[in-house]
Structure 1
C-alpha cells in the first residue's frame, strides 16, 4: 500500500486550551509530535 498523505494532524481547541497531535512522514522518516498549549 502506498499512502501519499504526508502529514496526519489532529487539532483540538477547547476554551483557552489547544492540543495538537499528529504523525509526519518525511522521506521515509516518520516523526510523531504532540503539542499541548494553554493560557
Structure 2
C-alpha cells in the first residue's frame, strides 16, 4: 500500500507500507491525518 501527497514544505511525500486490509489501512490513514491536523 502507498499514498503520495504534496506539501508546500517537502514537496511530494510517499508513504509505503505492508497491506493490513481495507479497514485497518483506512483507520491508519485517518488516524495519521487527524494527528497532522492537530499539529497545525
TM-score range, shorter chain: 0.3 to 0.5
TM-score by length of 1: 0.33
- Relative contact order, higher structure (CA 8 A, sep 6+): 1
TM-score by length of 2: 0.33
Which has more helix, going by share of residues?
A: 2
Which has more strand, going by share of residues?
A: 1
